[in-house]
Amino acid sequence: MMFDGINLIAVAVAGVASFIFGSIWYGVLGKAWMAAAGLTEEQTRPDPVTLGLAFVCQLVMAFVFAGVIYHTGETSIRTGLISALMIWVGIVMTTQTINHRFQGKPWSLTMIDGGHWLGVLIVQAVVIGWFGS
């Protein structure tokens, strides 16, 4: 099932896989993340609407990322991983760094959140690249 060169099945699988990755990441690093963010467990307990919104955002991210990979001219795991690293270094980490510095947040929060988004991009890159176009 394709949409202008984007494999929609790959997008769906990438969205689900990256959402699961995030659950595992913050499940393991949750206490460190809460401390770095200055939040309590009660403040970070997500409601169903927030979880649903996060899932929809993962799907949108996977769709757009698949478009980026497709526009490299070759949809493969290799081009996916290269694209993931470039987007992570040039867009994700720069915005995370700027936002967290202006918010006065510690570097540990930047590293935890940045690591999460690197993992998400890698998971999506592998899934989208594996499915191909």
Q: Among 59, 80, 68, which residue's Cα sits nearest to residue 5?
A: 68
Confidence at residue 133, expressed as pLDDT on a 0 to 100 scale: 62
Other beta carbons less than 10 A from residue 118's beta carbon: 17
Please, is 73 exposed, middle or buried when counting C-beta atoms within 10 Å of its C-beta (0-12, 13-18, 19+)? exposed
Confidence at residue 132, expressed as pLDDT on a 0 to 100 scale: 82
Confidence at residue 5, expressed as pLDDT on a 0 to 100 scale: 79
Domain ranges across the chain: 2-131
Q: Could you tell me the mean pLDDT of each successive run of 10 residues in the chain, 133 residues long?
A: 82 97 97 96 92 97 95 93 98 98 98 98 98 79
Distance of CA 6 to CAs 42, 63, 104, 133, Å?
Answer: 40, 8, 39, 6
| Beta-carbon contacts of residue 3 (< 8 Å; ≥ 6 apart) | none
Distance of CA 25 to the CA centre of its chain: 11
Are the C-beta atoms of 78 and 128 separated by less than 8 Å?
no
